[in-house]
A and B are shown apart, each in its own frame.
Chain A
């Protein structure tokens, strides 16, 4: 074990874990964050998604040592209950959740796509969401919320 510096949601931390520890376990167990979740541990579902260097990353398969100096953003790092990020607000407005376990993958993936490409086509958005799983199948509302957020970005 050794102290590993980590920047998460605007805060600096030094975490005392083995270098090979998956980032997800550090976020959950060491930092007590609730957004990213263990779904499969194999980067197949998206429940553990975080944003790093503007891209979505599956934190369940990323060793904490690979993060480096860059900021990690989790679902709770986007906005707060008092001041949700606009994409979170769109999901709130649409009631786009059932159990809600998958939301890190859904919201952060859509946000990252639209940050990079505000005019992303439906097809491009579908491709990006091609590895994001929601087993409650709340697809209708989630896609509606994403479209709504995308519209506000274009405007």
Chain B
């Protein structure tokens, strides 16, 4: 429903979409018009698709990148205020409503800032708008553009005459394309962007007024719950609808293939019905044993990707003075959003509206259309913020649940997942196994690095056409994207390190074009994707965290073997100045003591607490953010417990949009990384996932004793903006592991670092002191 922006502008003079769900329903009803036929009726090449100036001079901006609770609402509002030169209070930002916002795909992968803050999209549109306003003022004020100054929504000339944006264009369309040559305001001029503007949502949040997805209520709304299978792979045998007939308020039991749900008048009735509904299931095929699962990944048929290959690593290994090997294991982990996911759908005969906390408004629109058999442009998806998602949590699946249930009853239905629905069936962060092999010369330089990883994968984001990539679509009869085994082809294009499969220390050369951050020219990185029994999907720093854990720990192992200081050893193998700078900045801020690790050899007679420090660094995705992190930890040798005492992080994300928001993200990312490194692990038995609540999936609480955190920001106004929300978390497991090694001489090669694993590693370190790199010297 094109909500007819045009009509809106003409009639009301103000193009504002309220955040209130009930308000939206009303407007939806009014604005039901014919749909345009192309995928998005919002043409991103037109300025009017991004920016509108109302009759009162208020600027409304439309973005396809939404705030997931990480500050993008505030930062994008700052950006628009800065480029158009209006006070931030006069900017209204509309996020990810498919009836009015451009299709920017999915808000993910630390891509919002690179996409919208550089020389395209929202930033470029806002710059175009400013230049267009100045061009209009040239005509009205009769002065050349270079004598006009835009500020506070007013353009003033040298002669003192001025004119407001409202007078220039208020409630009218620009009717021009987004200019590729419009000039962004220079960081040195910035008055709003780059400043620590307090997050715009905070007062509403703290006073309980903020409307989350979970708060959306629409008139006539019913409540739904889903009944997921009791075990992985189970299929539906039969449903006894009579088993819930006695529950007051039950409207309908909905079955579609293996999808089962209930709809009731009230939420508690839906909960009761979902619990009491008698469903018979055919058992699934069973699950592989968790204890040997990760080791078994390398035996599976795989889809192979050769990321880089100098084709001579074996020769280098043969000539190396020592070769080291180690295997690292990182488990499946959950997004574990604190709010079990929720959505509201209102499906009518020929159209549907879905309120969703999805990161993917337009893709969700297309999937919902597919599930309902409607044309995509008959579906409107309205983004409403949910609890922090950290990636593909249950938000997409529950939106599909709501659409199916509403479609079955013809009334609006709100679906709230239970904690178990959320945790047993979300798309987990992948389990990853990494085999490392490095050769060094007699001077302690790395001469070859060979690395292979196995990534267990099933499903992922549904995109525009894969409902089966998440549980609801799968149950409703759609297959997930298949992992088709395939041998690797030779890498032909330049190094792409989106998953950080390649360590920062390799040169990354293809046909003489070297895009790696390091200087190790003998290099081979192979990635094997194998089929996972569980659904998987992006979880904050997807694969990047797992791979970086393996690289940064192994780098530490090698530096210990050659008796080099871990910082100095890294510097020796890096050539990307931005990684080098964050590494040095972190070391300086933490008063890094230059010496090899471990501090002292492992000693079986030692008792009590020992402490150590460890470092890790990364060029995130090769070039999308740079960070170095130092962890200081205490290790209780008796209990095997690790207590991080301090983290020092140095970050470079180019020009900083909001230093307060960046600090907030970094502090949170570090502690989330600490929870994942120390506690979090998906568990299962022979049939089903067994980590389905906060007692079986451990995440540390607010009462947990937390370390000090020091954040050093390196602002670089002269380069493009990169992502920043995923860099710090990428390093935490490695930095902690390296600090434990420094303190004890014990090397942890499997996360999370539970006390049992720490005690096992301590025993190994004491009994087999040369085992720190398994396989040790090949020659």
Interface residues of A (CB under 8 A from B): 1, 17-18, 20-22, 25, 28-29, 32-35, 37-42, 44-45, 47, 74-81, 84, 88-89, 91-92, 95-107, 125-143
B207 at the interface (CB under 8 A from A): yes
Can you list 25 contacts pairing A with B, beta carbon distance less than 8 Å?
A18-B248, A25-B267, A29-B266, A34-B209, A37-B212, A38-B340, A38-B342, A42-B419, A75-B208, A91-B202, A91-B206, A92-B203, A95-B199, A99-B386, A101-B214, A101-B339, A104-B208, A127-B703, A135-B387, A135-B672, A135-B699, A136-B668, A137-B670, A137-B672, A139-B671
Question: In the complex the two chains form, what is the Cα distance from A44 to B338 in whole Å?
Answer: 10
A125 to B702 CA separation, bound complex (whole angstroms) = 10
Q: Are B387 and A101 in contact (CB under 8 A)?
A: yes
Chain B stretch 156-207: residues in CB contact (< 8 A) with chain A: 198-199, 201-207
Any chain A CB within 8 A of the CB of B115?
no
User: Residue on A with the closest CB to B247?
Assistant: A18
Complex Cα distance, B702 from A106, in Å, reads 8
Q: Are A25 and B266 in contact (CB under 8 A)?
A: yes
Complex partner residue of A17 from B71, B268, B385, B667, CB under 8 angstroms: B268
- Docked complex Cα distance between A137 and B266 (Å): 33
Q: Contact between B667 and A138 (Cβ–Cβ < 8 Å)?
A: yes
> Whole-angstrom distance between the alpha carbons of A121 and B367 in the complex?
52
A-B pairs, 4 with minimum CB distance: A99-B69, A35-B208, A75-B208, A76-B208
Is B293 positioned at the interface, with any CB of A under 8 Å from its CB?
no
CB of A135 within 8 A of CB of B701, answer no
B385 — which chain A residues lie within 8 A by C-beta?
99
Pair B209/A133 contact, Cβ less than 8 Å: no
CA distance A105 to B208 in the complex (A): 11
Task: Give bound CA distance, A41 to B416, whole Å.
Answer: 11
The reply to whether B703 and A130 contact each other, CB–CB distance below 8 Å, is yes
The B contact surface, by secondary structure, is loop
- The CA-CA distance from A50 to B212 in the complex, in Å, is 18
Question: A76-B207, A97-B205 are known contacts. Are A140 and B702 too (CB-CB below 8 A)?
Answer: no
A137 adjacent to B205 (CB under 8 Å): no
CB atoms of B207 and A42 under 8 A apart:
no
- A residues less than 8 Å from B211 (CB atoms): 34
The chain A residue sitting closest to B414, CB to CB, is A29
Number of A-B contacts (CB under 8 A): 205
Contacts of A104 in B (CB 8 A): 208
Contacts of B709 in A (CB 8 A): 140
A8 to B694, CA, bound (A): 29
Q: Which residue of A lies closest to B706 (CB)?
A: A139
Whether the Cβ atoms of B338 and A45 lie closer than 8 Å is: yes
Is A129 a contact partner of B388 (Cβ separation < 8 A)? Answer: no
Name the B residues within 8 Å of A44 (CB-CB): 419, 693-695
B388 contacts A135, C-beta separation under 8 Å? yes
A-B contact sample (18 more), CB < 8 A, given A35-B208, A99-B70, A133-B699: A22-B268, A40-B694, A44-B419, A47-B387, A75-B206, A80-B207, A89-B206, A91-B206, A95-B198, A95-B664, A99-B386, A99-B388, A101-B212, A102-B338, A125-B703, A127-B703, A130-B704, A142-B702
Q: Which residues from A are CB-within-8-Å of B675? A: 137
Collect the chain A residues with CB atoms within 8 Å of residue B702's CB.
Answer: 105-106, 129-130, 132-134, 139, 142-143
Least Cβ–Cβ distance between B348 and chain A, in angstroms: 23
Q: Is the CB of B701 within 8 A of A132?
A: yes
Report the minimal beta-carbon distance from A127 to chain B, rounded to whole angstroms: 6
Q: Mark B699-716, 1 if CB is under 8 A from A, else 0.
A: 101111110010000000
CA A17 to CA B336, docked complex, whole Å:
31
Question: Given the complex of chains A and B, what is the CA–CA distance between A80 and B204 in angstroms?
Answer: 9
The answer to whether B118 has its CB under 8 Å from any CB of chain A is: no
Complex CA–CA separation, A134 to B672 (angstroms): 10
Known contacts A41-B419, A137-B675; decide if A1 and B248 are in contact (CB<8 Å). Answer: yes
B68 contacts partner chain A, Cβ-Cβ < 8 Å = yes
State whether B210 touches A34 (Cβ < 8 A). yes
In the bound complex, residues from chain B placing their C-beta under 8 Å from that of A131 are 701, 703
> Distance (Å) between the CB of B212 and the closest chain A CB?
7
The interface on chain B, measured as residues whose beta carbon lies within 8 A of the other chain's beta carbons, has a size of 64
Question: Closest chain A residue to B338 by CB distance?
Answer: A135
Contacting residues, chain B, for A81 (C-beta < 8 A): 203-204, 207, 209
Chain B hits for A137, CB < 8 A? 667-672, 674-675
In the bound complex, CA of A89 to CA of B202 (Å): 10
Q: Once the chains are docked, how many angstroms separate the CA of A22 from the CA of B202?
A: 28
> A126–B217 Cα gap in the complex (Å)?
36
Is residue B609 within 8 Å, beta carbon to beta carbon, of the partner chain? no
| Contact call B703/A75, Cβ cutoff below 8 A | no
Contact A41–B418 (Cβ < 8 Å):
yes
Give per-residue flags for B62-89: 1 if the beta carbon is below 8 A from chain A beta carbons, else 0.
0000001111000000000000000000
For residue B351, CB closer than 8 A to chain A, the reply is no
Which chain A residue lies CB-closest to B71? A98
B210-244 near A? 1/0 per residue, CB < 8 Å? 11101101000001000000000000000000000
When the two chains form their complex, are residues A126 and B705 in contact, meaning their CB atoms are under 8 A apart? Answer: yes
Q: Is B581 an interface residue when CB atoms closer than 8 A count as contact?
A: no
Task: Report chain A residues within 8 Å CB of B695.
Answer: 44
| A22–B204 alpha-carbon span in the complex (Å) | 25
Q: Which residues of B contact A103 (CB under 8 A)?
A: 205-206, 208
Q: A63 → chain B, closest Cβ, in Å?
A: 10
Interface residues of B in 349-372 (CB under 8 A from A): none
B629 to chain A, nearest CB (A): 15
Q: Is B309 interfacial (CB 8 A cutoff)?
A: no
Tell whether, in the assembled complex, residue B338 and residue A134 are in contact, meaning their CB atoms are under 8 Å apart: yes
| Residues of chain A with a CB closer than 8 A to B705's CB | 126
Knowing A29-B267, A133-B338, A140-B671, say if A98 contacts B388 (CB, 8 Å).
yes
**A129 in contact with B699 (CB, 8 Å):** no
CA distance A79 to B268 in the complex (A): 29
Name the B residues within 8 Å of A126 (CB-CB).
Answer: 703-705
The yes or no answer to B143 lying at the interface (CB within 8 A) is no
Residue in A76, A96, A130 whose beta carbon sits within 8 Å of that of B701 in the complex = A130
Q: Do A135 and B266 have beta carbons less than 8 Å apart?
A: no
Known: A37-B214, A47-B339. A95 touches B671 (CB 8 A): no
Residues of A within 8 A of B416 (CB): 38
A79 touches B207 (CB 8 A): yes
The answer to whether residues A100 and B706 also contact, given A80-B207, A138-B668 and a CB cut-off of 8 A, is no
> Please, how many angstroms separate the alpha-carbon atoms of A17 and B536 in the complex?
40
Partner of A101, one of B267, B388, B703: B388
**Contacts A130-B701, A133-B702: A98 and B209 contacting too (C-beta < 8 A)?**
no
Determine if A128 and B703 form an interchain contact, defined as CB atoms under 8 angstroms apart: yes
B593 to chain A, nearest CB (A): 25
Indicate if the CB atoms of A129 and B339 lie closer than 8 Å: no
A112 CB to closest chain B CB, in angstroms?
Answer: 14
Residues of A within 8 A of B693 (CB): 40, 42, 44
Rounded to whole angstroms, the CA-CA distance of A138 and B663 in the bound complex is 11
Chain A nearest Cβ from B623, distance in angstroms: 26
Cβ-based interface call for B337 (8 A): yes
What CA separation (Å) do A85 and B670 show in the bound complex?
A: 30
In the complex, chain B residues whose CB is within 8 Å of the CB of A127: 703
Is B660 an interface residue, CB under 8 A from the partner?
A: yes
Q: In the complex the two chains form, what is the Cα distance from A77 to B702 in whole Å?
A: 23
A139 to B664: give the CA distance in the assembly, Å: 10
Residues of A within 8 A of B223 (CB): 29
Identify the closest chain A residue to B68 (Cβ).
A99
Q: Determine the distance from Cα of A133 to Cα of B664 in the docked complex, in whole angstroms.
A: 17
Which of A18, A77, A89, A99 is close to B387, meaning CB atoms less than 8 Å apart?
Answer: A99
Smallest beta-carbon distance B248→chain A, Å: 7
Residue among A29, A34, A84 with most chain B CB within 10 A:
A34
Give the most central of B70, B203, B207, B388: most A CB within 10 Å.
B207
Please, which residue of chain A has its CB at the minimum distance from the CB of B223?
A29
Residues of B within 8 A of A101 (CB): 69, 212, 214, 337-339, 386-388
In the assembled complex, the Cα of A25 lies from the Cα of B132 at a distance in Å of: 51
Nearest A residue to B423 via CB reads: A40
Select the residue from B203, B675, B695 with max chain A CB neighbours within 10 A: B203
- Collect the chain A residues with CB atoms within 8 Å of residue B202's CB: 91-92, 95, 97, 100
Q: Per-position contact with A for B655-689: 1 when CB-CB < 8 Å, else 0?
A: 00000100011011111101100000000000000
